[in-house]
Copies of this chain bind each other. A is one copy, B any other.
Amino acid sequence: MTAAIIAVGNELLSGLSIETNSHFLINKLKIAGISTSSVSIVGDDPDSIVRALNTEVANDVDVVLVTGGLGPTHDDVTMKTAADYFGSEIIHSEEAYKRIQKLFSDRGIASLSKINRDQALVPEKAELIPNLNGTAQGLKFSKENRKYFFMPGVPVEMEKMFDDFILPELQKQSRQSITNIIIHTTGVPESVLFQKIEHWINKNQELSISILPRFPEVDISVTKTSDIRYGKSDVESAVSELSELLGDDIFGYDDDTLESVIAQQLVMHRLTIATAESCTGGLIANRLTDISGSSEYFKQGIICYSNQSKIEQLGVSEKTLLAHGAVSREAALEMARNVRQIAKADIGLSTTGIAGPTGGSPEKPLGTVYIGLSMNGRDDIFHFQYNRDRLSNKFFFSQMALNQLRLTLKGIDG
């Protein structure tokens, strides 16, 4: 089975927004064993939309997925264009109206404005697809053995609609299945990783293997297409071989994130943590608390940007700051130790460094970071040097701190 994606929106052609929905859809279609034969981006203009639809008829794809232009504002023309294209009247749908009412009452809004009520006007011939995150209804049409799905362009609305209602239908129709396992690594450059696994790649020619750098992580994607009746055994055995090859470079698989893996480790060992951040400015605490249930292990964070706050709040000694500077092994160590004691936590994690773009020196260049990790009487300091832009540096620093935490927690298991 093949699919075509048509993304509608002037903003996608104006340079303001980057079209990202197609990337999501391509990957999801892959899971259903459906390959994407083309992606078109066109403006909010009926003629362009119709030309794109006709091109996909000529390409003879099985499924056409259209995103965008279903909203309530004047430049949203997709719904009207679809109605004309399939020769359908536009009518008021009670089903859609009730859904919109429920959405607003769930948000505590009792009455609908005209613009929201108008979202219940839909093509008579369309099968409606619920939008659980917004007011624009999804539309399904069938014509000459070809299915057309029209979805909103807002990613959070489109993704939920596709996952809940469209993907299951497509999976049932396509009898192919693609087994895909994603392996997540961090702390190893792409080129080093490639050298480590080159032999393994050559050995597994029947698998489709990709190395995907997603700063500051590198993923390895392993894919196998097969008839739906066969299992995933050969992918799994190749992946477990890879896991042995890479060892601690791998932090997780598929939906794992570095934060979720650390959360599992902390909960399993019943350990609590506190953070003392300088250069990462709260990013580590923010990432740790992105996980639901983090109040079980995250006790407290202190963001000490100034020397004054390092001294007064964290009890870092003035002598240390004078002798070694705020960006130093010694300061990182005291920060980690002290925040652990202050918060009565099992683990103290600290960062001090230079995120840039100013503030570097020959001895401590931009991108220098010291990470302190204090746990059960054992104190470690890690040092990294990495410089790109300020936001990348902050993220890289937080990644290295969390990764060292993961590796240390892994050590407890052994």
A residues lining the B interface (CB < 8 Å): 10-20, 22-23, 26-27, 30, 35-43, 48, 51-52, 55, 58-59, 71-75, 107-108, 113, 115-116, 133, 154, 156, 180, 182, 190-191, 194-195, 201, 208, 210-215, 219, 221, 223, 275, 277, 280-286, 288-290, 292-295, 298-306, 308-309, 313, 342-344, 355-358, 385, 387-388, 390-392, 394
Contacts and interface: CB of A to CB of B under 8 A. Distances in A.
A168 B359 CA distance: 31
Contact of A221 (B14, B37, B214, B387): B14
Contact of A309 (B20, B73, B108, B300): B300
A26 to B, nearest CB: 4
Contact of A16 (B18, B59, B182): B182
B43 A40 contact: no
A20 B19 CA distance: 9
A174 to B, nearest CB: 16
Contacts of A213: 154
- Secondary structure of the A side of the interface? mixed
Contacts of A73: 190, 194, 211
Contact of A43 (B38, B223, B344, B355): B38
A286 B281 CA distance: 5
A215 B157 CA distance: 12
Contacts of A298: 281, 305
Max count, chain B CB within 10 A of own CB: residue among A26, A214, A288, A394:
A26
Contacts of A356: 292
28 contacts: A11-B221, A13-B26, A13-B35, A13-B36, A13-B37, A13-B38, A13-B39, A15-B36, A16-B182, A17-B212, A51-B59, A73-B194, A75-B210, A75-B211, A113-B195, A115-B195, A156-B388, A281-B282, A281-B285, A281-B286, A289-B305, A290-B390, A292-B357, A294-B305, A300-B303, A300-B304, A300-B306, A303-B303
Contacts of A37: 13, 42-43, 48
A37 B44 CA distance: 10
Contacts of A210: 10-11, 14, 16, 75
Identical subunits present? 2
Contacts of A301: 281-282, 301-303, 305
Given A39-B40, A282-B284, A388-B133, A292 B26 contact: no
A397 B215 CA distance: 27
A260 to B, nearest CB: 12
Nearest to A390: B292
A298 B214 CA distance: 30
Max count, chain B CB within 10 A of own CB: residue among A16, A294, A301, A357:
A16
A288 B26 CA distance: 36
A182 B11 CA distance: 12
B283 A286 contact: yes
Contact of A191 (B107, B116, B190): B116
Contacts of A51: 55, 58-59
Nearest to A279: B289
A354 to B, nearest CB: 11
A201 to B, nearest CB: 7
Max count, chain B CB within 10 A of own CB: residue among A41, A48, A286:
A286
Top 4 A-B pairs ranked by shortest CB distance? A281-B289, A282-B282, A301-B303, A282-B285
Contacts of A194: 72-73, 115
A379 to B, nearest CB: 22
Contacts of A390: 290, 292
Nearest to A39: B41
A208 B10 contact: yes
Contacts of A358: 292-293
Contacts of A16: 182, 210, 212, 219, 221
